[in-house]
Amino acid sequence: MFIDIFVPYWGDPALLRETVVSVQHQDCPEWRLTVLDDAYPDTWAGDWIASLGDDRIRYVRNPANLGIVNNYRKCLREAQGELVVLLGCDDVMLPGYVRVVREAHRQFPDAAVIQPGVQVIDERGQRVRTLADRVKQQWFTPGGGQTVALSGDALAAGLLHGNWLYWPSLCFRRDRLAGVDFQDDMKLTHDLGFVLDLVFAGQSLVYVPEVCFSYRRHSGSASNANLFDGRRFSDEKRCFARAGGQAAALGWRRSERAAHWHVTSRLNALVMALVALCEGRRASIPGLLRHAFVMA
C-alpha cells in the first residue's frame, strides 16, 4: 500500500528542490511522487527531476495554468494510491511522515483524513511559532497529546471554532473523497470547505500528535494582503454560511452555532484592524471592523 504524493507546483525552485528531497529521504519507501507543474514560466523542473534518476518520481507539466484549485482537482483525478497527499511545493516532510500516516491508516482504516503533528518553519527553514500557530496548537488541536479519532458534530464544531488543520500535511483515503469537490467561490478557504464537506458527509478524521511535517510560513506572504483587503474574511464568511446550512440540515447544533458566531474569525479581524491602525492602513479598518462586529 503506497502513498500517492502530489506536489502542485508554482513557486520558488529552491524550495521545490527541498520539498522533493524531503520525500526522497522518507524512512519508509512506500510512496510515489508526482510534481504537477502548473505552467510555471521557468521550465527547469522537468530536467532537474529527470536528472534525479528516481523512477518513483514523475513530472507532469500543464499546458496552461489551471490555478491552484483546478490543479488540486487534477491531482485527485490522477491519484491511484489508497492514500493521497497534496503536498505544498515549499513544505517539507520529515523522514517519518510516510511511516506515521501509514501506521495511522492501519489503526484507523475507515478514517478519510489523517492529520499528523506539524512544526512551523519560516522561509529560511527555521522553526517559528506565530500567534496563529500557538492558538491553533494550544487551544484548538484535540487529543491532549494523544492520537484521537474524531467525527460528526464535535469534529465540525471544533474546526468551525478554530481551524487547527494544516492542509498540505493532510493524508486522505482516496476512495472516501468521491462526491466531494472544492468550492470555486471560496478561493482562500477551499481547504477548510473541502474537509468540512467530508465531515458533513459522515467521514472521520484521525489526529496523530507525532511531529513529522514542516509547514512553511513566509514572513512576507500574500495571506496578509488578503486579510487587509478583506478577501480572506469574505471567503470565510461564505464558508461559515455554507457550513451553517449543512449543519442545520443534519441537526448538528454545535456546528450550527459555531458557524453562526465564528468567534475566532471575528477576533482575527479585530486583531488585524489594530495592526492596520498601527501600520497606517486606514482604508482597511472599516471592512475589518464590519467582519468583527456585524453578523450578516
Q: Where are the beta strands (DSSP E) in the chain?
A: 3-9, 31-37, 57-61, 83-86, 92-93, 113-121, 148-151, 171-173, 204-216
* 229-269: pLDDT as tens digits: 778 888 999 999 999 999 999 999 999 999 999 999 998 88
Residue matched to cell numbers 484521537? 148
Please, what is the average pLDDT of the chain?
93
> What are the pLDDT digits (tens) for 42-90?
989 999 999 999 999 999 999 999 999 999 999 999 999 999 999 999 9
- What pLDDT, in 10s, does the model give residues 192-219? 999 999 999 999 999 999 999 999 998 6
- pTM for the whole thing? 0.95
At 25 the pLDDT is: 98
Instruction: Decide: 166 and 159 in contact? Cβ < 8 Å.
Output: no
The three-state secondary structure class of 278 is: helix
Structure-model confidence comparison of residues 284 and 86, the more confident one: 86
Q: How far apart are the first and last CA of the chain?
A: 47
Over 80: is that where the pLDDT of 10 sits? yes
- pLDDT band of 296, cuts 50, 70, 90: low
pLDDT tens track for 125-161: 999 988 888 988 889 999 899 999 999 999 999 999 9
The predicted structure's pLDDT at residue 222: 46
What are the phi and psi torsion angles at 154 (to 5°)?
-65, -45
